[in-house]
Chain A
Amino acid sequence: MVASNIEVWQHATVVETSEIATGIRRIVLEPNRPVKADPGTHLDLMVTIDGRPERRSYSIVDASPDGRRVALSVFRTPASRGGSIAMHALQVGDVLEVTQPLQNFPLRHGAPRYLLLAGGVGITAIVAMARALARVKAEFTLVYAGRSRAAMAYLAELEAELGDRIRIHVDDEGTTMSVAGLVEQIAEDTEVYMCGPIRLMDAVRRAWNDRGLPPQQLRYETFGASGWFDPQEFTVRIPRLGVETVVPKGRSMLEALEEAGVDMMFDCRRGECGLCEVRVLDLAGDVDHRDVFYSDRQKEARAKMCCCVSRAVSATDAPAVVSIEVS
């Protein structure tokens, strides 16, 4: 597992785009400086949203062995921040700025057994792992959960390729996955690789920790795109700086503060590193923690937020208001 996180930017041409499941488009790119894409890798790319260049991360679903053709799949979220809308609008022949494959989610070879867990469009990070493990005849199961079969990308291919190594849970067929039941049955030497909505991943992480399983055997990736609540518009204030701005549904608090002219510190922009931490001074509403930086205890305290992904939400008609202090 030789991970590379050196960003080499290049141009990539869209050579195919098609709807492969409800709301999910498969987009095939031909980068001009191809390199091999290992399972677990993603691309970062620049999309234009409201005239602004924005950076987004997408898992590499599959790629030719030489990396000359790279496929992504993008779910157009109802609460899109704009990235998925722009990606769905791509046409064959469009040229994007993309990185060479980046690796934050390497698949380790040689584990006694594996469980791959995909929720919804999280399958995009898992497909290549399933195929790699099948190729080396590793002991593994893919658990794939979704709202409906029509919304589950790559379902037919994976069922055909993996046979009894795949287990399907479909909400509208009444076979919704039980996280407790799943984690209870995991053998102690299992390595788990999961990608999906943060509710699913938080639930698995809690059940995992409750069982006392080794935390390093639970591998996951998140791009901070999902939360416990649908995004709402809210107001953020920084009393010390006299700043007050509205965070629209499609923007992050970090982006809104940057646009308001606040000099913000940040790094990963996906809720992992904790550098964009803000201190909560006052809160009308609740915090939708979408990061993986804080522990449950810290999230419960609502004293700090990772403003790159986390949001304020309101249970009433009045929008939430959060007052913060920044570093």
Chain B
Amino acid sequence: MTPPSWNVIGKPIPQVGSRQKVTGEALYTDDLRIPGTLVGKILRSPHASARIVRLDVSAALALPGVHAIVTGKDAPRPFGVLPISKDEPSMGIDRVRYVGEPVAGIAADDEWIAMEAMKLIHVEYLPTKPIDDAKQALAEVANAADKIHPGTKFGNNLHKMVEQHFGDLPKAFSESFHVAKGHFEYAGISHTFTEPMSAVAHFDRDGRLHIWSATQVPHYLHRAMSEVLGLPMSRIRVIRPNVGGGFGGKSDPFPHEMIASLLTMRCRRPVRITFDREEVFISHHGRHPSEIDVAVGCDKNGRLTGLDIDALIDGGAYGSFGVVTSYYNGVLAQGPYRIDNFKYRGRRAYTNKPMSGAMRGHGAVNTRYALELLFDECAEKVGIDPAEMRIQNALPAYTTTINDFRITSNGVVECIEKVRDASGWKDKRGKLPFGHGIGLACSFYISGSALPIHRTRTPQSTVHIKIDMDGGVTVHSMAAEIGQGSDTVLAQCVAEILGLDVSWIRVKTEDSDLAPIDLGSYSSRVTFMMGNAAIKAAENIREQLRKAACRMAGGEPTDWVFRDAKVINTVDPSKSMTYMEALDEALADNGALIASGWYQSPKLGGAYKGAGAGLSPTYSFGAYITELHVDTETGFVHLDKIWAAHDCGRALNPLAVKSQIIGCVHMGLGQVLMEQWDFNHRSKGNIRNPSLLDYPMLTAKEMPPVDVFIVESDDKEGPFGAKEAGEGPLLPILPSVGNAIYDAIGVRMRELPITPASILRALEAKKKGKS
């Protein structure tokens, strides 16, 4: 495919649906107005760990205006996004495991009545000693019933342990010129999307359950609801209205979706549950609080010899995506550098906190920070420029890693060169005055998980196209537009193949009654998988139009190209016709054109245990440089400028890619410099900062300028060469700041977030000679 011949692909176009968003017309779940809708509220546990001794809802149920109340016993079957850890009940049954865990759901005429009813529900708790953090969770528990989840196979509160070995790490380290080691600690952080979770459920008189929900994973929600509620999937319809951001925080089925459903099934009225901001923080599922020990070896020429990672992550009360996180903390460190000796141990603990789960850059972000800082330490010991050493160690394109990841297109070297040259790296690194610094780091991330979560041969993404006599192209998919622009990608892919402008395309991705399965917006899979499915479907339609053109004007099917709403005969231009003319012929004696296209990842990977984790049909790469200065009096870090290069294969929509990269920079800067889910043991299991006032994030004022470089390595299997740009771009910003701080003041910060206080402590320690 030759890039210049494209009409729609590669053009910076506004998002499909952006006009509705800027005018206030766009409907999000809480904006839906269904007549007769009741207000749903959730009564939540005040205890981090307790037995429920008595639960009496009779007084609340008697309150006028209360239509239904449900409790855990109404839906005893637990659920979870991963089939291997379905451990979360819709509401606590007999016990509660974190502060804020749902205990009962109420449907009432209005919020006031619902709140009054909440006070009338009588719950008697017997508090038990909570497990506060992952280290406590490692202690043996004598009586299995006292574990957070009695059924686990460990004698303590561990949820999952994974171990992998490749090559001969002890030998590699013993022969290394230098082994850089460090213990790194990370606070948990939250996605903090602006739209609070919301769900409206309606069990209609035909006995069908409709749910509108702010979700990234309509299909997984569909499955989980079917299991929990005991309804066949065909009796459930999932609708995803506009979603106000997700970042992984809306990628699980949630209790409130079950509770709204149970309530409407009880009273047959539509029920809406919309969270307040505190409930959003309680429902969390953010990045795991983590402790990671990493060791990186290199030889005297700066060639990496081995990598050892040991991660202990705090999973909170339930499983969520945690088994995947347990793997990703290690396996996603297998790029972008060639490392032939590798050992990993990952452990996830259950604790009495809101659960952690998937968040943008899932599992890869924290280890990446450690690896890139230790990489710089190796470069320093060897005496080589860290940029040079990264180029030397970069995996080539089209290779296989030691853990059997198939690497295809790879633009990491070009990324490094771009930011190195644009930033004036060679004149700045190590040469700026004390307090000023510049730092570099790279990234490596999956472009969709090759293995589906459920063992099934159903393709990971299917796209349907229908064209009727009006010529408009209706495209159906369940790929979840959550603000990232997937609807635009879908429209672009179809428009390009059919030679139409995007305005011809009507994207319908909301309704499970209409659209075929797509697994959802997580693991940066949508552009790659849905894009390929869309191209396949559109090519099928194009074939039908070609045949029609031949019937009308003669010639061969291969003679025709589609462009500017015309079907052009390249052999004899006089035979060319408009798209509408070709369509009329195609519809004659035929009816509407329809086609289906699908994507299924090729079979990949090794045969060892856990080989599926981190497998992707392709990987994104990147390199960022950060320049900053540190106020050594106050400890404040001031960001001067970021140079960000990301290899997304092909930018289908450069405007959207740029937006994703800058958005990632913003989110990563927050984690490295300020964000933390402030959970203090003395607060008895409460999050201390469940509000946007107390959870610090960068505002517009703190955001530094970012120069974005889009590198296009043209992936052979990607749609028009594309791969992901939504999560990988978050990874390098954190360590580029860490490395820049080292360049500025000579300390490697091993605890995130890097606060002014921690900078001052580090400077003090450095002064005393202990670095």
Asked whether A and B interact, the reply is: no
